[in-house]
Amino acid sequence: MKKRTRTKVLRQVNPAKKAELRYRRELNKLIDSMFEIKAPTANNDASIREEVLEMIDLLSNKLDNIDVIADEVVSGVVDESNRVNEYRFKQQMKREMGIDVAKILENNKAVGSKVRKMRRENIALVKTIPQRYLRSLEAIVDKHTLQGSETSMIEDIQKLQNVTRNRAKFIARDQTSKFNNSLSQARQEAVGIQEYIWITAKDERVRPTAARRRQPSYSPKDPNHREKHGKTFRWDTPPDDTGHPGNDFNCRCVAKGVLNI
């Protein structure tokens, strides 16, 4: 007689909030060191221009060491995300399935590959923060020198600094979510879990939002996270429009592993 297969749906492993906060703190330290350079104090654009050009030279010198700085920012965050994900996944399998997966996961090549990939990608991403800030400063100088502007140069620099901090906050949240989902996939596949149930954040910000659906430019082909909630997907077949949970830009979705026993 053929044995009946029983399906067990695991709880999702949520991103490590401490890792996100740590990432944000480290990025803010980097930004603080950029903003420590004396801001312009003159009261006319001609004088301000000279002060900003001096700021640009000082920032350019700081970028000589950006590889080391970015590695210091990223390494601890990636390692902490990995530790938390590993602990929560092991505890989940033991509590819900009565299975100790420590031996299976020990020195797992897929997990190691994910960690190295995340570290490389985030070092490159962190380096863009001062690089983009520097390019934008140069653009502000050019705009005021060649075209003029209704706003003062100082106002434009203050806006740029706010944009830089907001982008750092987004990077910390978005990347720790990506870390968690990527590591969850590797660990689920390592223990033989081939399918998962897509779980959204279940709020008004899940895409496509109601506001987006009312826009004339909205298309049914837009990435749709909302319609995937509660549906089952395979790890070896990512959805075409979004990829797996967490893959898409600013995606807060997670995957509940489905284990057939």
Q: What is the pLDDT of residue 59?
A: 82
Query: SS3 for 217?
Result: coil
pLDDT digits (tens, 9 = 90+) for 94-144: 998 888 999 889 888 999 999 999 999 999 999 999 999 999 988 988 888
Q: What is the mean pLDDT of residues 35-41?
A: 62
**Which is more confident, 149 or 195?**
195
Report the b/e string of 59-92 with b at 16+ CB within 10 A. Answer: beebeeebeebbeebbeebbebbbebbbebbbeb
Q: What is the pLDDT of residue 64?
A: 85
Q: What is the pLDDT of residue 34?
A: 83
Q: What is the pLDDT of residue 160?
A: 93
Q: Distance between CA atoms of 134 and 148, rounded to whole angstroms? A: 20
Task: State the chain's mean pLDDT as an integer.
Answer: 88
> Domain limits of the chain?
16-192, 194-261
CA proximity to 138, closest of 201, 39, 56: 56
The values of phi and psi at residue 260, to 5°, are -95, 120
Q: What is the pLDDT of residue 107?
A: 85
Q: Considering only 145-154, 195-204, 234-243, which range has the smallest mean pLDDT?
A: 145-154
Q: What is the pLDDT of residue 45?
A: 61
Q: What is the pLDDT of residue 173?
A: 94
Q: What is the pLDDT of residue 43?
A: 59
Determine which helix (DSSP H) or strand (DSSP E) holds 165, and give its type and residue range. Answer: helix 153-190
As given in the structure block, the two tokens for residue 203 are 């709020």
Whether the predicted pLDDT of 40 surpasses 70 = no
Q: What is the mean pLDDT of residues 247-252?
A: 90
CA proximity to 28, closest of 154, 167, 178, 133: 167
Q: What is the pLDDT of residue 77?
A: 95
* Band of pLDDT at residue 39, cut at 50, 70 and 90: low
* Band of pLDDT at residue 49, cut at 50, 70 and 90: confident
Q: What percent of the chain has pLDDT over 70?
A: 92
**Which is more confident, 45 or 255?**
255
Whether the predicted pLDDT of 145 surpasses 90 = no
